[in-house]
Structure 1
C-alpha cells in the first residue's frame, strides 16, 4: 500500500529528519539511506520497520544537520606545531642563527590547522532516530488506513457488481438451456442423418451434452467467491494472499463460463458479454489488491 510520512527531531547535536515512502510491492523491500553518524542505529531501525510493515517497496531517508550548520572548529595541530618549533630551534642553534619562529609561517604549513566537528553522542542520536521512526510509522499507518478505507469501498462495489452479473447470467441461463438442448438435437440429427437412432435416445444424449455445458455450478462458485472477497476485506489482519487466491478462483470460474457459452445464438452472446464484464471487474479488484497487505 502506498504512503508517505516525514518527521523531524531537534537534538543538542543538530536537526534530524526521517522520511518513509512506501509503494506497492508483493513482499517487503527495505531501502535505507542514512548518514554515517547514524550507522549504529540501522539494525534497530530495520527491526522497527519490519515489525510494522509486511509488504511494500519502502524507502527510508535520514538527514542530519549539525547545530549551527556544518559548524566545525578550526584548531592547531599541537603535536605538529611542537615538532616544528623543536626543529626550528635546533636548526637555529646548529647554524648560530639569532631569530625567532614566525607563527604565521608555521600556520601556512599544510596540516597545521585542522577542522574538527564537535563530538556527537551516538546514544542520543540513535534514540532520537528511533523515536522519529516510531512517529513516522504511526503517520504512515494513518495514511494507509485512509487509503485502505477507500480501497475497501471500491472492492465492495466491484464484488456487488459481480454478484449482479451472476444474477443476470442466471436469468439468461434458465432461458438458454432449453434453447441449447434444441440446437444440440438438431446438430446431432444432421450428423447422424441416415443412421437409425431412437428419437428418445437422441433427446437424452442432447440433454446430457447440454448438462455438461451448463454454467450453474460456475455461477454458484463465482457468487460464493465474491461474497467471501467482500467479507475478507472487511476483516482485520493480513488479507493480501487470501485475496490473491480468491481472485484466481473467480477468474477460473469466469473463464470456464466463457468456454461454455459459445454456440447458443444471441443468448450465448449475452452470457459471453456478461462473462467478460465479470472478468473486467475481477481485474480491477486485482489491481487494487496490490495495495492490500
Structure 2
C-alpha cells in the first residue's frame, strides 16, 4: 500500500544508562532531504542516523530530533599531576626555611588545594556503542512514523480510487456520446444541403464523405483507450508497496493531456461539460499525489 510523505514518530528508551529520545517528522518534498538535530558531542553519529533514515524513507523533507540525558552514564576520573605537586611541595619547603625553624608539616590536603594538582575528566565513550544506541531508538521512532504514513496512505489511496471511478465514468460518457455527434452532424449537413439546393437532389455520397471526414476529425477512440490504460496503471500503483509518487504524478499529467485533447477535438456541449468535470477530478487527484512517497 502506498504511503504518505507526511508523518510523525517518537520513541524513548534508556540504553547503557543514557536516556535517549528521538522524534521524526516529515512533509512532502520532491526528493529526500534529511536534517538531523542532536547535541554537538554526539555529532559523530549523524551519518549513521541519516543512513537509517535513507533505508526507511525515499522522499520527503525529514527532520530528526535527538536528545540524550547521559548524566547517569558519566564516569569521572580523577588524576594527580605529580610533577606539579612536587614543585608546589618544593616551593612550600623553601618558604618554611625562610620562616625559620618553625615546625611545618606538608599534608596532601594542602597540596590538593592548589590549582591543577587534581584534574577531573570523563572517561572516553565507546563511539560505536553510542552510535548503535542512537540508531536503535531511531528505528523504533521510524516504526511509529511509518505506521502513521501508512494510515495516511490508505486514506489518500481511497480518495484517489474514488476519483479514478469518476474519471472512468466520464470516459464512458465521452465514448457513448462521440458517435452520436457524428450522426447529428450528418443530419444537420443533409438538412442544410436540402435547404440550399431546395428542389435539386442531394448527393448521398457527398454527405457520407463529409460525415466521414468529420468523424475522423472528432474521433477520440485513441484518447479514451489511453485514458483507460492510465487508470488501470494508477489502480495497480495504489496497491504497490514500493514508492510510486513520481510515477503516479507522471501518469496524471498524461491523463490531463488526454483530457485536453478530447476537449479540443469535440465541438459538442455535452462532451465539453464532461471534459470540464474530468479535468476537475484530475486536478484534485494531482494535489493528492503530491503527498505520496
Could you tell me the TM-score, scaled by structure 2's length?
0.78
Matched, 1:5 2:29: no
* Structure 1 residue 200: Cα displacement: 4.1
Query: 2:186 & 2:58 partners in 1: Cα distance?
Result: 53
Higher RCO, 1 or 2 (CA under 8 Å, sep at least 6)? 2
Q: Are 1:47 and 2:28 counterparts?
A: no
1 CA distance for matches of 2:92 and 2:188?
119
What's the counterpart of residue 160 of structure 1?
165
Number of the residue aligned with 1:194: none
Q: Which residue of 2 aligns with 1:82?
A: 85
Are 1:204 and 2:212 matched, yes or no?
Answer: no
Aligned residue for 2:137? 132
| Cα displacement (A) at 1:212 | 1.2
CA shift in 2, pair 1:183/1:117, >3 Å: farther
User: Out of 164, 168, 181, which is 1:176 matched to?
Assistant: 181
Which residue is equivalent to 1:38? 42
Question: Aligned residues, how many?
Answer: 279
CA distance change for structure 1 residues 81 and 23 in 2, over 3 Å: closer, same or farther? same
Q: Is the 8 A contact 1:184 1:210 kept in 2?
A: no
User: CA separation in 1, counterparts of 2:228 and 2:36?
Assistant: 44
Which residue number corresponds to residue 286 of structure 2?
286
Distance 1:141 1:283, change over 3 A: same
- The CA distance in 1 between the partners of 2:276 and 2:22, in whole Å, is 47
- The equivalent position to 2:68 in structure 1, one of 52, 60, 64, is 64
Larger displacement relative to structure 2 (200-209 or 3-12)? 200-209
- Distance (Å, rounded) in 2 between the aligned partners of 1:64 and 1:209: 74
Flag structure 2 segments of 5+ consecutive residues without an equivalent. Answer: 195-201
Deviations 1:243-283 (A, max 9, x none): 12321211110010111233xxxxx2221221121112112
CA separation in 2, counterparts of 1:39 and 1:178?
74
- In the alignment, the residues of structure 2 paired with residue 83 and residue 181 of structure 1 have an alpha-carbon distance, to the nearest angstrom, of 117
Question: Aligned pair in 2 of structure 1 residues 107, 288: CA closer, same or farther (>3 Å)?
Answer: farther
Change (3 A) 1:224 1:115: same
C-alpha RMSD over aligned residues: 3.7
* Maintained 8 Å contact 1:6/1:20: yes
Query: CA distance change for structure 1 residues 232 and 188 in 2, over 3 Å: closer, same or farther?
Result: farther
C-alpha separation in 1, matches of 2:150 and 2:7: 10
Q: Is contact 2:17–2:72 with CA below 8 Å preserved after alignment?
A: no
SS in 2 for 1:236: coil
Counterpart Cα distance in 2 of 1:120 and 1:202: 92
Q: 2:95 aligned with 1:92, yes or no?
A: yes
Partners in 2 of 1:154 and 1:216 — Cα distance? 28
Cα 1:74–1:81 shift into 2, 3 Å = farther
What do the CA deviations read for 1:141-181 (whole angstroms, capped 9, x no partner)? 21121111111111110100101111222233232222345
Deviations 1:17-47 (A, max 9, x none): 1111121122111111222333332332222
How far residue 125 of structure 1 moved from its aligned partner, in angstroms, is 2.0
Q: Distance in 2 between matches of 1:75 and 1:87?
A: 23
Which 5+ residue runs of structure 1 have no aligned equivalent?
A: 190-196, 263-267
Q: Report the counterpart of residue 193 of structure 1 in structure 2.
A: none
Aligned residue number for residue 24 of structure 2: 20
